[in-house]
Amino acid sequence: MRSQHSQARILRRSVLVACLMLLPLLMVETFAASDLTAADLSTAGATTGVSKLAAKPVGQPLLDVIGTPDSDRVPQTAMVSDCRKGYVALTFDDGPSIFTPKLVNTLERLEIPAAFFIVGYRVKGHRKIVQQVRDAGFTIGSHTWDHANLLAVGPKRVMRELRSTNRALAAVGVEKISLFRPPYGLTNKRIRKQARSLQMSHVMWTADSNDWRGGGPHQIANRVLAQLRPHTPNIVLQHDGLSRSMFSIRAVPIIVKRAAQRGYCFTSLDQRGNLVIPESDAPAPGPTPTPSALPVPTTTVVPAP
């Protein structure tokens, strides 16, 4: 009798432990089911719609999407609010990976532009994924061949890192790579000059998600949102090539929704790495700070993925 009682107690305990272990998984699934769509952005307080909303308007769209009219492609600028606070460009490093298609689908559903800084050696094994990124209309930039710390290698290796990545991308149909993000944000005048000799501009960031450090989608989103600054070019750094990248990808709808509620719009990067700003919102002529001219972020060096 006593042993029956203790067996039942052990069984109950085992069930409790199993439930506790399953809880985070269930929460992740619940979150995934509540992913936003472009239409949600309108009902969530954004004052305007994106192109799909033009077909099925929710309320009265005030602004239009700027960019290609082809509905299969992401817009150049997503006017998801009245843009009173300015603009944000999303960027993703270290892909392509098995997570990239999910990210592409998420961004396409939300109709938000983004730039992907790709690691060259990963291209061959993810040919279709790179083409999916290109065909969706996202910007593709270089993140070196093998995520090298360029400050630790000589000038010849720097050129090899840049050229071989461009060749790998050209081999899958992505030509004219004009944007470059140095791994860890580590660069110097010489490397900038070398990139310029290949008609490539550096693109740094202003808002670091620190997604590789840990945290769930909401924590990652909160870190990004806390770093957005009004009336200044905001460039967000996230990753789609790390083991934890699913969390970062799930942060995207949260970032988009809450940034839109605050009055930010999302836009792409031009060939020089500057945010594409609609003419009506463009600053008056004169010297203005560009994102590529911003100082190198003082972030902790990211461990190579």
| List of residues contacting Zn ion (CB under 5 A) | 93-94, 183
Closer to Zn ion by CB, 207 or 265: give it: 207
Q: How far is the CB of 94 from Zn ion (least distance, A)?
A: 4
Q: How far is the CB of 70 from Zn ion (least distance, A)?
A: 31
Q: Which helix (H) or strand (E) holds 267?
A: strand 264-267
Name the residue number minimizing CB distance to Zn ion. Answer: 93
Closer to Zn ion by CB, 75 or 183: give it: 183
Closer to Zn ion by CB, 49 or 183: give it: 183
Q: How far is the CB of 216 from Zn ion (least distance, A)?
A: 21
Q: How far is the CB of 148 from Zn ion (least distance, A)?
A: 10
Q: How far is the CB of 212 from Zn ion (least distance, A)?
A: 9
Closer to Zn ion by CB, 183 or 253: give it: 183
Q: How far is the CB of 31 from Zn ion (least distance, A)?
A: 26
Residue 270: CB partners within 8 Å, gap ≥ 6? Answer: 276
Q: Which two tokens stand for residue 54?
A: 């033009």
Closer to Zn ion by CB, 76 or 97: give it: 97
Single out the residue of 123, 117, 111, 98 nearest to residue 70, CA to CA.
Answer: 111
d(CA 127, CA 125): 6
- 223: β partners: none
SS3 letters across 16-69? HHHHHHHHHHHHHHHHHHCCCCHHHHHHCCCCCCCHHHHHCCCCCCCCCCECCC
Q: How many CB atoms lie within 10 A of CB 40?
A: 17
Q: Are strands 77-78 and 264-267 parallel, antiparallel or unpaired?
A: antiparallel
Closer to Zn ion by CB, 152 or 284: give it: 152
Q: Which two tokens stand for residue 76?
A: 């150049």
Phi, psi of 168 (to 5 degrees): -60, -40
Question: Which stretches does DSSP call E strand in 74-193?
Answer: 77-78, 86-95, 114-118, 139-142, 179-180
Closer to Zn ion by CB, 122 or 257: give it: 122
Q: How far is the CB of 272 from Zn ion (least distance, A)?
A: 21
